[in-house]
Structure 1
Amino acid sequence: MKTILNLIALLLCVVTYGQTTVKGKITDESGLPLPGANIIVVGTTSGTVSDFDGNYTITTEQEPPFSIRVSYTGFQVQTLEVTSNNQTINVTLAEGNELDEVVISASRTPERIFESPVTVERFGLKEIKNTASVDFYDGLENLKGVDINTNSLTFKSINTRGFASFANTRFMQLVDGMDNSAPALNFPLGNLLGMTETDVQSVELLPGAASALYGANAFNGILFMRSKSPFDHQGISGYIKRGITSQEAAGDNDYTDLGLRMAYKFNEKFAVKVNFGYLKGTDWAANNEEDRFNRGLTRADLNYDGINIYGDEVSTNIKDVAEILVDRGLIPSGADALIPSVDVSRTGYQESALTNYNAESIKADWGLYFRPWENDFEIQYVGKIGSGNTIYQGANRYNIRNFFLQQHKLEIRNDDFFVRGYITEDKAGDSYDMVFTGININRAWKDDQTWFGEYVGEYLQQTLGGATSDAAHLAARQTADTGRLIPGTPEFQRTFDRITNDPDLTTGSRFQDNSQIYHADANYNFGDLVDFAEIQVGGSFRTYRLNSFGTIYTDNDGPITYSEVGFYTQLQRSLELSESVELKLTGSVRYDKSELFDGFFSPRLAAGFTINDNHNIRASFQTGFRNPTTQDLYIGLDVGRAILIGGASDNPGRDIRPYELSPSGAAIVGQGNIIFDGNGAYNNSFFASSVTNGFAQSGNPADLEIANSNFVQPEQVSSFELGYRGKLKDVIIDASAYYNSYQDFLANETVIAPFYGDVQLTQTVPGSSTPLAVAAIANGDFQAYQTYTNSDAEVNSYGAAVQVSTKILNGFDLSANYTWARLDFDVAANPDFRTNFNTPEHKVKISFGKTELFKNFGFNTAWRWSDNFFWEASFGDGEVPAYSVLDAQINYRIPSLKTTLKVGATNLLQDEYFTAFGTGFIGSMYYASLTINNL
């Protein structure tokens, strides 16, 4: 106990030295204070930041004379000399430009964005405060080259350079160095476990491949979010936003978003901080009743399957049902001749009947920071938790309800190195599949066999009574639906509650999951020890523990674990070629090894020419790789239309399910029920398109095409990029172009595995020349699978982006950017292969505003236009029309209260749109916010 008390005293004591104190105020050229400016004692790590009024006080052990350096994003750095103790130094900073901003992500070391070897976007404190979007995360959509696909109000997926989906496993998101992807999903749920707005120090976005430094998932890009240190940013700050969301389908609904940050520096050795965020609103309702398969069907059609109607996925050919009824003596012999050979689907439920569209997010994080020697050496522990409700669209539509995610990190670092380890754990909470909820509510009320039997019986009776076929079908559905559970009734609610709490997808729809990721990484920069170049080395280790209790993965017999390891090094050197020209060379290479695959190297080479300190031309070649995700490897999920089956070599055999054969199939096999596993998808299957589009039309077995998907391997990309950053008088230009070539592209194939017979068609029905596999297809004795595999198809993409920024009309900020993206892929030659490029070819974004229109009053507007494009995903395919959106905000600062008032609106023109097939239309948001003491 005495030892513990001494340790506590050591951590909390304030030690006094002979010190020099400097104070003053930081303002811009118009006299406005600059809160959050950095003041550093040159040659040391001692520093502070200015408060809300621009005031600062810095105390150091240095004795005069010495210098301090003052910097603020968007302003030119100033260095000033301190000549005496208690000196007052007021500083006026001249406005700079975006080229002066410092980034870390491009090379894992601080450097001017102007000199970055690759394209990098930055979203700093100034941009966060002035964004026209409802929050900083949404504001990233206005960066060039960036796509944000809106899954729901609280779940948005960021992507760059194509191949986007809501399950965006090609894009990494790091918060203070931690990958905040959910282990069960392998991608981040937007900002659920991200940051509260008042704690954001900066956001950097690195588009394109960056595996040479950041590993497996740094394939299409990385988002870096850095928080404020409690040593530099102390006090209590917070915000509250209140408003409404407005959508034609859901009406006007309340919206609340609030955040609180508390940070305290006990002394130069110990500091703490706590953040809390809460958001509540109503999600964008999805009520699209068009047919999912673009057949032009409506709810009046027999085999209708609505996009946002669930339960109607279950369909069958009623003539097959009639034949079974004849065999069982339930209808007269020969009556089946009166039944047409058409598919009929069950009646489904609208999505609004299966969810309350409650959008909610609760998150908190805390940190303990210890600097034992009062310098840059720091030990930190950070904890994060997040929980919420949202809508996620993958193979089906899912209500993510009470989903829980937590992270815990221990890190040791200084300016030259870091060593960190963290754990990420998720719990599915009360999440459920809305498609299976609709299917199983129907089945709980009346099983499929009974429903279709009643349908056929009534159709037959109506036909014998002289009714037309259309009238007979209408009467048959009404009869089969008699007594159907109606939303809003106690009977429906009881059934709904039971099914959404049942994890067996044959009777329920609930997800269970408690998976973890264990991660460690380290980096050391030898820049202070080696003169001729800056050399870095580092590495990482990760272990996955998948534990879905058999509801997502094939882990019925216990958790699945596997590990990955990687090592890298980077060398960077600047060469002065002449008085006005400097060449900066960067080379890096990384070696990675998963226990499931062979190891391989990922190199990167980059060169940057700086001319007259106003123009920089850069060129790079880099490679990236993407290990198959946890779902690519070990998923075993029945989504109704098919079973998703992962491509790890040991996975298909783990997916074991019972099946009932057709009467004809039972006669052939000699038994009515079989046990079938997923191996058929990979070693005995046909492409689904050859069955449905070829064989179904011709009846010719020669039209069946063997699939037999390969097991998955890592995907690789080779990326070439050219770029330019520069200043022409008062105009800032940033442009880049890239070309990507992919190898072993990871994607899905839809295949059909017959329950009996070989796909080589060598086995025949006894006493017949008909191939067994053909008979299985004809009898409906097969299982459809969506496999995870690599394609040998040639996949390339290329694009360009350019941004122009300037000031006009005496200080108004004007910025415009254009992005072009194109897929180079032969669709006709690869009809069964889906790239899911899902990216508009053209995008335009323009912002216009002024931080000081008049004293303490500013505004900003942002307009963006997106071209139409075709969306491909496992849930469905369809056109996404072109759309344009206008966001705007006005703000007023009250310096005496350290408060900013903001009033804003998103989608001000009220033109509802959607960014992906199957989601709800995005309406408008109107809000007012109050932010206090945000340094």
Structure 2
Amino acid sequence: MRTITLAIMLIVSSITTAQTTVKGKVVDDNNQPIPGTNIKVQGSAVGTVTDFDGLFSLTVDQSPPFTLLVSSVGFEANTITISSDTSDITITLKEGTELDEVVISASRTPERIFESPVSVERFGIKQIKNTPAADFYDGLENLKGVDINTNSLTFKSINTRGFTTFANNRFVQLVDGMDNSSPALNFVLGNLLGITELDVNSIELLPGASSALYGANAFNGILFMTSKNPFDHTGISAYFKGGITSQDVAGDNEFYDYGIRLAHKFSDKFAAKVNFSYLRGTDWAASSTVNVLNPATDRTDPAYDGLNVYGDEVSTNIRGVGQALVNAGILPAGAQNLLPDEDVSRTGYNELDLNANRAESVKFDAALHYRPFANDFEIIYQAKVGRGTTIYQGANRYSIKNFFLQQHKLEFKNNNFFVRGYFTDEDAGDSYDTRFTGININRSWKDDNTWFGEYAGAFATASLQGVLPEQAHAIARQTADTGRLIPGTAEFASAFNQVINDPNLATGSKFQDATQLKHADVNYNFSHLTADFADIQVGGSFREYKLNSSGTIFTDFDGPIRYSEFGIYTQLQKKLADERLKITASVRYDKAELFDGNLSPRVSVGYTVGENRNHNLRASVQTGFRNPTTQDLYIGLDVGRAILVGSAPDNLDRDVRVFDDVSGAGQTIIGGNSVTITGRAAYENAFSVTSVANGAPEAASSQIVQPEKVTAFEVGYRGKLKKFIVDVSGYYNQYKDFISTENVIVPYYGQVGDNALSLLALQNRDFTVYQAYTNSDVDITSFGVTAGVDTKIAGFNIGVNYTYAEQDFDKARDPDFQTNFNTPKHKVKASFGKADLFNNFGFNTSYRWSDDYFWEAPFENGDVPSFSVIDAQISYKIPKLKTSLKAGATNIGGDEYFTAFGTGLIGSQYYIGLTINNL
């Protein structure tokens, strides 16, 4: 008996320790190697990836037979049955189409783009390598329906379907499941602090409302970036890019960008990776001197306010100053009548004097991956750290200098579920407001009362001597500017450094912030249990904000402000009619601490037709919503032209401001009166700006901000028509309680509607402008079409797409409300290239044309002219060195353009790059 038992144990032991090694190569139809191909054992997480030469080696802890699943983006998947150890297997993959690519974002489960229930765009490793843009993130601009608004060289804002500024809080960007938004700014800073190019595995973009699965703010669209898993992508890879940026104003300047990735699989249970990248260059300089108050005039206008000139926003009525001087006995009686009844502004400084135009991005991340059972169950710890310098255009132009953001995530997952938690922490670093820098440098050498007093006195004196008004203005400005600090001098540099390090906006311009957010997600897919009935998922999320700006952005003077929100969702997906009909239904419930709960349902239907199942029709209706942002709720910030005040109920009385030099109700006292105004006045005691401008003052109608909702209808077609891949979709969106801002005028005394003191306050110029965060009660709709055609002719890849976008908003019913639609009505994009024109050599080109459009934003409104852009690149592979070379240029021809009013003109960028061992 002992002998039999021992024999059985030996047999079992031999079975459990059996190993099979499979070696081989993966090639395409032309017998060219396919690097980065995924090879996995069916029914397990064991797998590997082919190297640069398409070679692989896989050791499996089981005896044959078993099946390998072989897949690569852009190719049709293949299955291979292994019956014995082998070392010379060759696997051929047939080239597929973009319809065969697999996406996860549309339904939170893997599915072909062809049968996705909603519009989805994918940008994979192949597209990243072939993009003519200098950076992979910029290459997203060539996707159909996508807008990229260029704020600076290192900060681009992605959006779809309109309604955006650079503070794009209607669009979500997730990197490995983590929201990449700044907690305080409420929007994504492009890829300034995002993912490194070498570590990108895939990028998916869902245009339009996605709240049913992804919650608040997935309103206009959502971008998913996933990184490479170190179990599948091992080794050391690196890249270096260098070149110049060329702009008329800034000249030709060098830039360089380099990065490295290290990943190692220590065993079937443990793997790790580290990424680092660094970019530095010179930003697109903003230098417009257009007079925003009167574009027909120039700097000779006494009230001149230049678009990219700061400090000249401070102005006053010069006759009123003269009256005060007469009252104080400084000027003789009647001298005020020598002064014109018009505004005069202080002399400002150009943005080029206040911003070094440095662009910089430093990114580091590390991840530990642990599979305790050597199967698909995985535990991941990931840390991301980034520091960047750029320009952000919001209510003002901000120099984001040494901005720091870190994220830490712990995730548990397998093929059926994930549970993740992460927190985001930011520090504004040495950032500052360029407008207040100009204002307070001026005040550092001469306060406003003194400057305007000298101006008025000099003007009156010159007028008494018979000097004409235009010359009197010039003499007055020259007199008042005596002692002005000149850029480039030590005195100017000293004042500049003092101002940008002072967070008090009365004397400084420092942007101070250390806001945090905590977030948790959970999702379970029951499809392995319910497949006979339907694929069912459930999930939820929780988020908490901690606002901490020390009173410089938010009204957190007495300590951090905290609030939270949560959501739960479920989705059911079912295939019918020989799997030609696919029905997807989702619903999500979200509840924010300050608002009532909200339901977001989605229903979509897809049907595949044709004998070869090459055509898919889809239709969907879904709702989206977004909660007011942290700034909508708790901001309390004076930006010069207006005071921004959030409308959370507990914020209305937190924003308290004292205004001096109030003349009073008909009194003539200068410097003696002061009043205290709270933010509540912007919502309860304010005039409409338009009504005051029209000479018939009426009460403003700004209400406390509420969540915004959209109902989105979409139909589409995807299919293969002979050699052509066609994707067409149309949408129609209906908005309710649309969130935006509205400027209002708050009188220092009186109650709006009293037809007495409040009107006197307007007459005496005893008022200030507030910007209220509110909803419009006017119906707002948008609609549009996207259409794309891709084909391959003689091996050349050709693609063309077109986007049409329009809004319907009755401006006359709510003249002070801005929707910030900010997208051209027509856009055309095209691409032409071939990755293997001849041995190891390829090229790619892209073309973009944008219609003109009107840009609305808190900084300034203005026209954006139409523009055309051509980008191109050539590439050469050196297989023996596992290296590729790439040279390219963006905006060939150098016709400078801009995508938002107030930003620097975008010039050309020329680069050459080298990449080593990037699979």
Alignment of 1:688-837 (within 5 A): 688-691=689-692, 693-695=693-695, 703-761=696-754, 771-808=756-793, 810-837=794-821
Counterpart of 1:498, as a letter, is Q
CA contact (8 A) 2:193 2:388 kept: no
Equivalence for 1:441: 441
Secondary structure in structure 2 of the residue aligned to 1:429: coil
Could you list the per-position Cα deviations for residues 572-607 of structure 1 after superposition, in whole angstroms to 9, with x for gaps in the alignment? 000025xxx710000000000001000021000000
Equivalence for 1:3: none
CA contact (8 A) 2:663 2:766 kept: no
Go from structure 1 to structure 2 and tell me whether the alpha carbon gap of 1:30 and 1:288 turns closer, same or farther (over 3 Å shift). same
CA contact (8 A) 1:293 1:876 kept: no
Report the Cα offset of residue 664 of structure 1: 4.0
Report the Cα offset of residue 663 of structure 1: 3.1
- Structure 2 unaligned residues grouped into runs of 5+: 1-14
Equivalence for 2:839: 855
Report the Cα offset of residue 708 of structure 1: 4.3
Report the Cα offset of residue 412 of structure 1: 0.2
- State the distance in 1 between where 2:772 and 2:524 align: 41
Report the Cα offset of residue 507 of structure 1: 0.4
Alignment of 1:99-114 (within 5 A): 99-114=99-114
CA contact (8 A) 1:665 1:781 kept: no
- State the distance in 2 between where 1:683 and 1:217 align: 28
Report the Cα offset of residue 184 of structure 1: 1.0
Please give the TM-score of this superposition, normalised by the length of structure 1: 0.95
- State the distance in 2 between where 1:514 and 1:81 align: 56
Could you list the per-position Cα deviations for residues 884-934 of structure 1 after superposition, in whole angstroms to 9, with x for gaps in the alignment? 000000000000000000000000121100000000000000000000000
Report the Cα offset of residue 30 of structure 1: 1.7
CA contact (8 A) 2:385 2:406 kept: yes
Counterpart of 1:557, as a letter, is D
Alignment of 1:282-297 (within 5 A): 282-297=282-297
Equivalence for 2:207: 207
Could you list the per-position Cα deviations for residues 105-150 of structure 1 after superposition, in whole angstroms to 9, with x for gaps in the alignment? 0000000000000000000111011011111100000000000000
Equivalence for 1:10: none
Equivalence for 1:340: 340
Equivalence for 1:123: 123
- State the distance in 2 between where 1:464 and 1:471 align: 13
4+ runs of 1 displaced by more than 4 Å? Answer: 668-671
Go from structure 1 to structure 2 and tell me whether the alpha carbon gap of 1:684 and 1:76 turns closer, same or farther (over 3 Å shift). same
Equivalence for 1:886: 870
Alignment match of 1:593 (pick from 572, 591, 594)? 591
Counterpart of 1:912, as a letter, is E
Equivalence for 1:89: 89
Counterpart of 1:189, as a letter, is L
Secondary structure in structure 2 of the residue aligned to 1:438: helix
Counterpart of 1:812, as a letter, is F
Could you list the per-position Cα deviations for residues 65-122 of structure 1 after superposition, in whole angstroms to 9, with x for gaps in the alignment? 2221211111111111111123532112111101100000000000000000000000
Report the Cα offset of residue 16 of structure 1: 9.7
Could you list the per-position Cα deviations for residues 863-895 of structure 1 after superposition, in whole angstroms to 9, with x for gaps in the alignment? 000000000000000000000000000000000
- State the distance in 2 between where 1:212 and 1:365 align: 31
Could you list the per-position Cα deviations for residues 172-230 of structure 1 after superposition, in whole angstroms to 9, with x for gaps in the alignment? 00000000101110111111221111100000000000000000010000000000000
Equivalence for 2:526: 526
Secondary structure in structure 1 of the residue aligned to 2:114: helix
Secondary structure in structure 1 of the residue aligned to 2:273: strand
Equivalence for 1:768: none
- State the distance in 1 between where 2:736 and 2:92 align: 54
CA contact (8 A) 2:737 2:775 kept: yes
Q: Aligned residues, how many?
A: 901
- State the distance in 1 between where 2:241 and 2:312 align: 40
Counterpart of 2:831, as a letter, is S
Equivalence for 2:4: none
Could you list the per-position Cα deviations for residues 675-722 of structure 1 after superposition, in whole angstroms to 9, with x for gaps in the alignment? 22111101111111211x212xxxxxxx11111411111000000000
Counterpart of 2:844, as a letter, is N
Does 2:896 align with 1:898?
A: no
Report the Cα offset of residue 20 of structure 1: 1.0
Equivalence for 2:545: 544
Does 2:491 align with 1:491?
A: yes
CA contact (8 A) 2:501 2:509 kept: yes
Equivalence for 1:72: 72
Secondary structure in structure 1 of the residue aligned to 2:694: helix
Report the Cα offset of residue 17 of structure 1: 3.4
Counterpart of 2:350, as a letter, is Q
Secondary structure in structure 1 of the residue aligned to 2:715: strand
Secondary structure in structure 1 of the residue aligned to 2:201: strand
- State the distance in 2 between where 1:421 and 1:43 align: 28
Report the Cα offset of residue 338 of structure 1: 1.2
Does 2:610 align with 1:609?
A: no
Report the Cα offset of residue 632 of structure 1: 0.5
Alignment of 1:273-284 (within 5 A): 273-284=273-284
Secondary structure in structure 2 of the residue aligned to 1:529: helix
Go from structure 1 to structure 2 and tell me whether the alpha carbon gap of 1:665 and 1:448 turns closer, same or farther (over 3 Å shift). farther
Equivalence for 2:391: 391
Higher alpha-carbon deviation: 913-922 or 337-346: 337-346
Equivalence for 1:926: 910
Equivalence for 2:298: 298
Equivalence for 2:822: 838
- State the distance in 2 between where 1:618 and 1:871 align: 33
Equivalence for 2:145: 145
Report the Cα offset of residue 21 of structure 1: 1.0
Counterpart of 2:816, as a letter, is D
- State the distance in 1 between where 2:862 and 2:292 align: 8
Secondary structure in structure 1 of the residue aligned to 2:213: helix
CA contact (8 A) 1:52 1:898 kept: yes
Could you list the per-position Cα deviations for residues 484-512 of structure 1 after superposition, in whole angstroms to 9, with x for gaps in the alignment? 10000000000000000000001000011
Alignment of 1:224-373 (within 5 A): 224-373=224-373
Higher alpha-carbon deviation: 58-67 or 889-898: 58-67
Report the Cα offset of residue 18 of structure 1: 1.9
- State the distance in 2 between where 1:212 and 1:825 align: 26
Counterpart of 2:851, as a letter, is D
CA contact (8 A) 1:684 1:708 kept: no
* Aligned-CA RMSD value: 1.3
Counterpart of 2:171, as a letter, is F
CA contact (8 A) 2:664 2:673 kept: no
Report the Cα offset of residue 167 of structure 1: 0.3
Identity across aligned pairs (percent)?
63
Secondary structure in structure 2 of the residue aligned to 1:915: coil
- State the distance in 2 between where 1:81 and 1:429 align: 57
Equivalence for 1:566: 567
Alignment of 1:580-659 (within 5 A): 582-612=580-610, 613-659=613-659
- State the distance in 2 between where 1:663 and 1:301 align: 27
Could you list the per-position Cα deviations for residues 780-829 of structure 1 after superposition, in whole angstroms to 9, with x for gaps in the alignment? 21121000001101100000100000011x10000000000001111233
CA contact (8 A) 1:666 1:673 kept: no
Please give the TM-score of this superposition, normalised by the length of structure 2: 0.97
Equivalence for 2:6: none
Secondary structure in structure 2 of the residue aligned to 1:828: helix
Go from structure 1 to structure 2 and tell me whether the alpha carbon gap of 1:186 and 1:74 turns closer, same or farther (over 3 Å shift). same
Report the Cα offset of residue 43 of structure 1: 2.3
Higher alpha-carbon deviation: 20-29 or 490-499: 20-29
- State the distance in 1 between where 2:638 and 2:18 align: 71
Go from structure 1 to structure 2 and tell me whether the alpha carbon gap of 1:16 and 1:344 turns closer, same or farther (over 3 Å shift). farther
Counterpart of 1:98, as a letter, is E
Equivalence for 1:454: 454
Secondary structure in structure 1 of the residue aligned to 2:619: strand
Report the Cα offset of residue 844 of structure 1: 0.3
